[in-house]
Chains A and B, each alone.
Chain A
Amino acid sequence: ETGVTQTPRHLVMGMTNKKSLKCEQHLGHNAMYWYKQSAKKPLELMFVYSLEERVENNSVPSRFSPECPNSSHLFLHLHTLQPEDSALYLCASSHSLQGAGWGYTFGSGTRLTVV
Chain B
Amino acid sequence: GEDVEQSLFLSVREGDSSVINCTYTDSSSTYLYWYKQEPGAGLQLLTYIFSNMDMKQDQRLTVLLNKKDKHLSLRIADTQTGDSAIYFCAERENDMRFGAGTRLTVKP
Contact = CB atoms under 8 A, between A and B. Distances in A.
B94 A108 contact: no
A104 B42 CA distance: 11
Nearest to B41: A108
Given A43-B88, A43-B98, A106 B43 contact: yes
B100 interface: yes
A45 interface: yes
Contact of A107 (B42, B50, B88, B96): B42
Nearest to B99: A42
Contacts of A41: 100
A98 B94 contact: yes
Nearest to B46: A103
Given A42-B99, A42-B100, A43-B88, A100 B94 contact: yes
A61 interface: no
A90 interface: yes
Interface of A: 2, 4, 6, 41-43, 45, 48, 90, 92, 94, 97-98, 100-101, 103-109, 111
Nearest to A91: B42
Interface residues of chain A: helix, strand, loop or mixed (majority): loop
B27 to A, nearest CB: 13
Given A43-B88, A109-B41, A111-B40, A100 B30 contact: yes
Contacts of B42: 2, 4, 6, 90, 92, 106-109
A103 B45 contact: yes
A93 B95 CA distance: 12
Max chain A C-beta neighbours (<10 A), residue from B29, B33, B98 = B98
A104 B96 contact: yes
A72 to B, nearest CB: 18
B92 A105 contact: no
Contacts of A45: 95
A103 B98 contact: no
A105 B40 CA distance: 16
